[in-house]
Structure 1
Amino acid sequence: MDILRKILFPFSFLYGWITSIRNFLFDKGILKSYRFDLPIIAVGNLSVGGTGKTPQIEYLIRLLSDKYKIATLSRGYKRKSEGFVLANETSNAEILGDEPFQFYQKFPTIQVAVDANRKNGIEQLLAQKQKPEIILLDDAFQHRKVTAGFYIMLTSYDDLFYKDFILPTGNLRESRNGANRADMIIVTKCPQDISEIAQEKIKQKINGYVKENQPVFFSYIDYDDCFYSENKKVSVEDLTAVDKLVVAGIAKPEPFFAYLQAEKKSTMVFPDHHDFSENDIKSILETANGRKIITTEKDFVRLKGKLPAAQLYYLPIKSSFVKDSNEFDKKILAYVGASTRNG
């Protein structure tokens, strides 16, 4: 915790008090929350960014899209459009935001929408000729004007919510007790070999903030075997030892750099959801000096078309469970099946 955050500690009490009052008003029905007659799964967190929401949403898409018509609804952070937008062939990262555009490109059979007003977004999706059967709400844990049927809360292994403080001293958007609203918690970005003892210790800490018998799962980031460009792929082995520039504009890029064994002199770091300017592109090209440029999948959708296609590659990731993936799948499918007519 840096000095400025310590100085701002009194403001954390104020921020926590405001968010607690807001939650109380929603809990008591004084502030209205809307429900919809279809399965809605919200994936979110208590902290600000970096918990792995995108790969978790993609896991749910893979799990459900073969059986149901899926729609994702995101705010569309840093997009240059307003209101409700349903992705189509003219969409790009500037219109949708980087993560929704990634969903659209990766899963062409689903509907991808953005709207900061989740209630309006859901209503607009249900007004479409092809109505979704399930809606996945991206980063909507604090968006309480809509009541989802199932809440998945993520907390990162290296930044567990029960060790954190409310903004601005820490990174929590609300009190740790907000975890009680979750139907399950996933500890993300774990070491793949995390021990049973370590898992149990974390569960015991989490149990102090959640409902009794609330399931807790542990996941890790699983990297693809290949790098991809616009029109080709190269095995990770073939490029690991090659001199390259690794570029990342994500919340916590250190694991990505470590996996690629990228030395600091061969990396460039930008803010999360960064809108790459002409000067940024010029700087990247100058630093690369003809080398291959490796980036994240989220950054690729913003860099595509701005950097030479033959030079730019991305490395896909996915969320995998340390254990009990079948149990996780069963709980999701049970909720969806009980909430749909064809369940």
Structure 2
Amino acid sequence: MAHVFALLLLPFAWLYAGVMHVRNWLYDTGLKASATFATPIITVGNLRAGGTGKTPHVAWLVQQLRQAGQQPAILSRGYGRQTQGYILADNQATATSIGDEPLQHYQDFQGQVPVAVCENRRTGLETLLRAQPAVTTVVLDDAYQHRRVQPQLSILLTEQQRPFYQDYVLPAGRLRESRRGAARADVVIVTKCNPALSSAEQAGITARIQRYSRPRVPVLFSTYTYGSPVPVGDGNRPAGPEIVLLTGIAQPGPLREYLAQAGYQITHHVAFADHHAFTSADLTAVAKQLRPGQCVFTTQKDAVRLLEPGLRQQVASLPVFYIPIQVQFLADGAAQLQQLLSPLFQPHAVV
């Protein structure tokens, strides 16, 4: 039935794809200008709407840049925030003021990495670089379609289970633009992979991606590693294997699979849409699902929103834990990506 519905929406998808094609053509030909900056700009984004793993990949990238002696900053539009304009994160920032993902980045790096939000990335970059002169590079989070800025390195993410080459443009599918948009990428990362993905399977996926990307653009593969539960509310560690899962993310499937493999039993999954703004009533409903000895597991991104000022007291009384995740590349993917980063910061000879 879903397939039939998607076919009915194809004419609208073709119309939307046509509009996006014209927009991209205007930028490609220079009829619409893309701003360039002396400071290296790195874009991380996707073709598909919804969670492809941008947040942990941005965190990995920023960590690598810091280890290489750079002073990176992160700029996002701050999806889901209830504010407008340019805002630089500080200790008073909340998910409401800057968005859940920027707040997560700010907390992850303990304020040592400037994190800013602005719906106009060009204005945001100009303001950020003027206010933070020590910054040596800026990572643009979720800005693959933001053509008003020309990045020095464009990183495209696509999920193994939902690759862009098997999807269609909105509303028939989930693509923000046609598959041909992959041609702008300098590197493609296939995310949330099975750690046991074979070389033959990787080669098959790479061949399908390279039908749309530029010749010889690297295709890398990454997976998630999960850490021990971190307390958000009451309790130092989970009491038993039975849990209630609370998520407000686009793709909770990988987390569910990990928890099952780790021996946890999900007795109830309270699932909301991506970036859901949790309410007191939501937490009350979750508390009613808890049985003696059970706890609530969630994601770090969700935990950021659960700790909004109006919810902290209620969360503090519940046994809530988040599961941290980190990106790990298969084969030599990390080394290949580091090789792509290093030329951005090598000194150039003065002529």
Check whether TM > 0.5.
Answer: yes
Could you tell me how far 1:256 is from its partner in structure 2? Answer: 0.7
Query: Aligned partner of 1:25: which letter?
Result: L
**Contact 1:39–1:339 (CA<8 Å) still a contact in 2?**
no
What's the secondary structure of 1:8's corresponding residue?
helix
Alignment of 1:101-250 (within 5 A): 101-108=103-110, 109-224=112-227, 226-230=228-232, 241-250=240-249
Alignment of 1:323-338 (within 5 A): 323-338=331-346
Could you tell me how far 1:132 is from its partner in structure 2? Answer: 1.4
C-alpha RMSD of the superposition = 2.0
Whole-Å separation in 1 of the counterparts to 2:218 and 2:231: 39
Could you tell me how far 1:230 is from its partner in structure 2? Answer: 4.2
Gaps of 5+ in 2: none
Whole-Å separation in 2 of the counterparts to 1:121 and 1:195: 42
**Contact 1:246–1:266 (CA<8 Å) still a contact in 2?**
yes
Alignment of 1:1-343 (within 5 A): 1-66=2-67, 67-108=69-110, 109-224=112-227, 226-230=228-232, 241-261=240-260, 265-289=267-291, 291-304=294-307, 305=312, 306-308=314-316, 311-338=319-346
Could you tell me how far 1:209 is from its partner in structure 2? Answer: 0.8
**Contact 1:38–1:340 (CA<8 Å) still a contact in 2?**
no
| CA displacement, residues 233-261 of structure 1 (integer Å, 9 cap, x when unaligned) | 967xx66x522211111101112112112
Could you tell me how far 1:289 is from its partner in structure 2? Answer: 4.6
CA distance change for structure 1 residues 8 and 329 in 2, over 3 Å: closer, same or farther?
A: closer
**Contact 1:179–1:210 (CA<8 Å) still a contact in 2?**
yes
Could you tell me how far 1:166 is from its partner in structure 2? Answer: 0.7
CA distance change for structure 1 residues 232 and 331 in 2, over 3 Å: closer, same or farther?
A: farther
Could you tell me how far 1:265 is from its partner in structure 2? Answer: 3.9
Whole-Å separation in 2 of the counterparts to 1:38 and 1:60: 16
CA distance change for structure 1 residues 129 and 162 in 2, over 3 Å: closer, same or farther?
A: closer
Query: Aligned partner of 1:186: which letter?
Result: I
Higher alpha-carbon deviation: 121-130 or 173-182: 121-130
Could you tell me how far 1:326 is from its partner in structure 2? Answer: 4.2
Whole-Å separation in 1 of the counterparts to 2:192 and 2:232: 28
What's the secondary structure of 2:315's corresponding residue?
coil
Higher alpha-carbon deviation: 181-190 or 277-286: 277-286
CA distance change for structure 1 residues 72 and 167 in 2, over 3 Å: closer, same or farther?
A: same
Could you tell me how far 1:287 is from its partner in structure 2? Answer: 1.6
Query: Aligned partner of 1:279: which letter?
Result: A
What's the secondary structure of 2:189's corresponding residue?
strand
| CA displacement, residues 132-156 of structure 1 (integer Å, 9 cap, x when unaligned) | 1110000000000111110000010
Whole-Å separation in 1 of the counterparts to 2:82 and 2:35: 28
**Contact 1:65–1:110 (CA<8 Å) still a contact in 2?**
no
Could you tell me how far 1:340 is from its partner in structure 2? Answer: 8.2
What's the secondary structure of 1:219's corresponding residue?
strand
CA distance change for structure 1 residues 277 and 146 in 2, over 3 Å: closer, same or farther?
A: same
| CA displacement, residues 25-76 of structure 1 (integer Å, 9 cap, x when unaligned) | 0001111110111111000011101110011001011101231111100111
| Percent of residue pairs identical | 37
CA distance change for structure 1 residues 154 and 110 in 2, over 3 Å: closer, same or farther?
A: same
Gaps of 5+ in 1: none
Query: Aligned partner of 1:140: which letter?
Result: A
| CA displacement, residues 248-289 of structure 1 (integer Å, 9 cap, x when unaligned) | 111011121121126564211110000012221211111225
**Contact 1:63–1:329 (CA<8 Å) still a contact in 2?**
no
Query: Aligned partner of 1:10: which letter?
Result: P
Q: Structure 2 length normalisation: TM-score? A: 0.91
Whole-Å separation in 1 of the counterparts to 2:144 and 2:92: 30
Query: Aligned partner of 2:163: which letter?
Result: L
What's the secondary structure of 1:266's corresponding residue?
strand
CA distance change for structure 1 residues 68 and 151 in 2, over 3 Å: closer, same or farther?
A: same
CA distance change for structure 1 residues 180 and 234 in 2, over 3 Å: closer, same or farther?
A: farther
Aligned residues: 337
**Contact 2:47–2:156 (CA<8 Å) still a contact in 1?**
yes
Q: Structure 1 length normalisation: TM-score? A: 0.93
**Contact 1:133–1:340 (CA<8 Å) still a contact in 2?**
no
Higher alpha-carbon deviation: 261-270 or 209-218: 261-270
**Contact 2:53–2:192 (CA<8 Å) still a contact in 1?**
yes
